[in-house]
Amino acid sequence: MHKLRIEDFKKRLNPSQLEAVMTIDGPLLVVAGAGTGKTRVIEYRCLYMIEQGIAPENILLLTFTRKAAREMLGRASMHDPRCKKIEGGTYHSFAYRVIKKYKNVIGLGDHISFIDESDSADALHLLAARAGCLEDKTRFPKKDTLRSILSMSINRNQSIGEVLTKDYPHFLPKEAQLQDIQKKYAEYKIARNLIDYDDMLIYLKFLLEDPEVNKKVSSQFKYIMVDEFQDTNRVQADIVYSLARGHHNCMAVGDDTQSIYSFRGAYYKNMFDFPKVFSDTKIIKLEYNYRSIQPILDVANAVIEGEKRKYSKVLFTTCQGSDKPTLSYFKDAFSESEWVAAKIKEYRDQGVLLGSIGVLYRSNFLSLPVQLALSKLNIPFAVYGGMKFVETAHIKDVLAFLKVHHNPKDEISLARVLMLLDGIGPRTAEKVKEIISAPGGAYRDEDLKGVVKNPSVRKELERVSGLFRSLAQSEGTEAKVRKIIHFYTPFLKKKFDDYPLRQDDLKAFLEISSSYTSLEQFLVDFVTIEPPERSLVSMEAKKEDERPVTLSTIHSAKGLEWEAVFIIALVDGCLPVSYALDDEESIEEERRLLYVAVTRAKRHLHLSMHNEGRQGGMSSFNRLSRFISDSGVMERLEQDYAWFEDEGPELEDLTTQKMDKVGLYHKLVDYFDSPYAKDNF
DNA sequence: GCTTTACTAGTTTTT
DNA sequence: CTAGTAAAGC
């Protein structure tokens, strides 16, 4: 690869992009509309900085997903392999690096365990039960709600009271108890060296507040780039400000109209605060869209028109094409999906690659009818989002063994392991836990006998502890995982009817583990990154022209693009999702979600809705999404009412009875005995 | 008293 | 498909 010179940069970038690329000192805010080449800016800025003699080790790129980081650095590395050395990743993975390095500063011990949201929810449930919060009859938040209340409080930098007032006013009477649990939870985690998602960020923030650590970290990372700044929360923004406090060399890229993660604490106003924090901020807007044809941008601009506070920008393009986006109405979700599948088939016959077609929707379950319809036509597809590999019960089981081995204080995992055994439920598991975690690790068999009366169960327990002893002796992550899977397989077979499928997953798990030498890193990666999509991994490896159609939630479609995009179920209650309807801010976020979805399309855009609801039975009729009917969106769409109403010719009645129940029974029995049936069984 | 089983209801979005 | 619950079983 030849080196790039300034002339090359000029050739490949438009003036605004070039300015963003060449402004490397001082604070810079790039407001980049959808499809305006912000990835390109980051890619070329990396190259430019390195051309200017900046060491790649001094550059930090924080992105929203690891995939995004990999993509941008990967492209840059093709021009200049030195770019591989740039530090890039998500906030969480960066946090882990720093925490690992400086854990002593904040008093964390070795063998840190990272816990995911369901572990965290389980722990909170346990603490709530212990504190007696569940005893009186009035309602107390369920474990997932509990978790999200505490998490919101951290991510939005608000007190429990504030979170409750805004989102859960009916739980306000429980404020004191919740505060108590918040403290207990902190205590619980610290005592066991556990860290959850929120702690990763908080601890990083704490570390960066320490002058010595801050100096060390920021002298390492002298140039900082942050992607998707509109989706950072307050803690993350603080981290960025802290990192750049010394040198101000910080570029934030974002698009306030694409902020769609407020449920996770994202605070799009960070985009407006950035110039206040760094008063000498230079602001560059990118408005030239390279992705979509003008009719699609017209729809996008019209959708976002209603948004109140935004950096005003209007997308424009010179991409050729005049296909007007369509809006189609259908009777129900099935006819809608069948139409989508048929249309996809049509595209394929015209030579459009399946890999360049995307079907987008608000919620995972909306994809089911589409999956059905595509399978019927034998069109291959891959589903993004939804249940993840790590979240499946069998993977969690195996992980629990590993976690206990890594950190014996990890009670949640220990309980999970113990409850696999027959005859041990939550109660017994708790007691056994107390006994074996007694100080010194020495427990007496008599104590165990008192708790577990059944000798065969005790024998099983003995086998489990045998497994852990053997794990302690084996070297290498892969060998350990292999032992665990071997031990676990009988349980797997008993627990799940569909165990062969799950066994394949375990094989994949084993494979992944083989590339790790550090067990801790392996465990961390499982909570901080999304591992290969659920099973059938081999799909990914396929060649460009064999890639399947993508089905994705709008959230996971962020940053991606397709030639043809279908957005389905544009129904009030699905896009704005019904939960969002009572809050104006949430509705605005739903609007931005539609904006994101629309701007994924390059040439063809098909919107659709179905009329019949599934809520509560028959007679709920859906209204077209307000974002489409309200604004000036409608007139930019080609409307199509041709829904699939005909269900084939109707059969004529024939009421003469030819057989009674007994007759039918004999017919069946005869059929079972016939040679034809035998061949089939 | 604790575990297991059988059933029901209801599913946002993700690091 | 699974989390939560009620009732049955040990």
**CA A80 / C1′ B9 distance in Å:** 56
Query: Which spans in A13-158 are helix H?
Result: 15-22, 38-51, 66-79, 91-102, 117-130, 143-155
Contact A606, A343 (CB under 8 A): yes
Task: Look up tokens 């080790």; give the residue.
Answer: A57
Establish whether the CB of A90 is closer than 7 Å to any nucleic acid atom in strand B: yes
**A423 CA vs C10 C1’ separation (Å):** 10
Is residue A2 predicted with pLDDT exceeding 70? no
Pick from A230-244, A347-361, A634-648: least confident? A634-648
Check if residue A425 sits with its Cβ under 7 angstroms from strand B.
Answer: yes
Q: Assess contact for A291 and A319: CB atoms under 8 A.
A: yes
Q: Is the CB of A429 under 7 A from strand B?
A: yes
Q: What is the pLDDT of residue A101?
A: 92
d(CA A597, CA A362): 9
Query: Whose CA is closest to A533, among A339, A635, A386, A351?
Result: A386
Output the pLDDT for position A190: 92
Res. A243 pLDDT band, cuts 50 70 90 = very high
Question: Does the pLDDT at position A673 exceed 60?
Answer: yes
Long-range contacts of A435-440 (CB under 8 A, 24+ apart): A436/A465, A437/A408, A437/A409, A437/A411
A311 pLDDT higher than 80? no
- For the CA of A364 and the C1' of B10, the distance in angstroms is 14
> Which ranges of A80-167 would DSSP assign to H, the alpha helix?
91-102, 117-130, 143-155, 160-167
Label residue A679 by pLDDT band (50, 70, 90): low
Interatomic distance A513 CA / B14 C1' (Å):
23
Protein CA at A449 to nucleotide C1' at B12, angstroms = 47
A392 touches strand C (CB under 7 A): yes
Over 60: is that where the pLDDT of A536 sits?
Answer: no
* Cβ atoms of residues A27 and A248 within 8 Å: yes
- Distance, CA of A457 to C1' of C8, in Å: 22
Chain B: nucleotides below 7 Å from protein CB are 1-4, 11-15
The answer to whether A363 and A553 have CB atoms below 8 angstroms apart is: yes
- In this prediction, residue A57 carries a pLDDT of 94
Alpha-carbon distance of A3 to A69, in angstroms, equals: 22
Residue-level pLDDT at A439: 60
Instruction: Give the nearest nucleotide to A118, CA to C1'.
Output: C3
Report if CB A393 to strand C is under 7 Å: yes
Within 7 Å: CB of A63 and strand B?
A: no
**Which nt is closest to the CA of A144, judged by C1'?**
C3
Beta-strand runs (E) in A459-554: 549-553
Quote the pLDDT of residue A16.
Answer: 93
Q: What is the mean pLDDT of residues A201-213?
A: 94
Return the half-sphere exposure (C-beta side, CA atoms, 13 A cut-off) of residue A641: 0
Proximity of residue A142 CB to strand C below 7 A: yes
Distance A580 CA to B3 C1' (A): 40
For the CA of A66 and the C1' of B1, the distance in angstroms is 49
Task: Using a 7 Å cut-off to protein CB atoms, list the covered nucleotides of chain C.
Answer: 1-4
Q: How far is the CA of A672 from the C1' of B4 (A)?
A: 36
Name the token pair of A663.
């007759």
Please tell me the predicted confidence (pLDDT) of residue A305: 81
The tens digit of pLDDT for each residue in A12-62 reads 899 999 999 999 999 999 999 888 988 899 999 999 999 999 999 999 999
CA of A365 to C1' of B12 (A): 10
What share of chain A in percent tops pLDDT 70? 90
**Maximum Cα–Cα distance across chain A:** 92
Nearest nt by C1' to A64 Cα: B15
pTM of structure: 0.84
pLDDT value at position A179? 92
Nucleotide nearest A419, CA–C1', reads B3
Cα–Cα–Cα angle for A70, A74, A76, rounded to 5 degrees: 125
Nucleotide closest to A428 measured between CA and C1': B2
The rounded Cα A518 to chain-centroid distance in angstroms is 25
Q: Which nucleotide is nearest to A393 (CA to C1')?
A: C2
- Tens of pLDDT, residue by residue over A478-534, are 899 999 999 998 888 888 877 887 888 888 888 888 888 888 888 888 777 655 444
Nearest nt to the A432 alpha carbon by C1'? B2
- Bridge partners (DSSP) listed for residue A383: A551
Say whether pLDDT at A644 is over 80: no
The Å distance, CA of A60 to C1' of C1, is 41
Q: How far is CA A544 from the centre of its chain?
A: 25
| Measured CA A233 to C1' B13 distance, in angstroms | 16
pLDDT digits (tens, 9 = 90+) for A156-176: 888 999 988 888 888 888 889
Nucleic strand B near CB of residue A120 (< 7 Å): no
Report the first-to-last Cα separation within chain A, whole angstroms: 63
**pLDDT tens profile A538-588:** 344 445 557 889 998 998 888 889 999 999 999 888 888 887 887 788 888
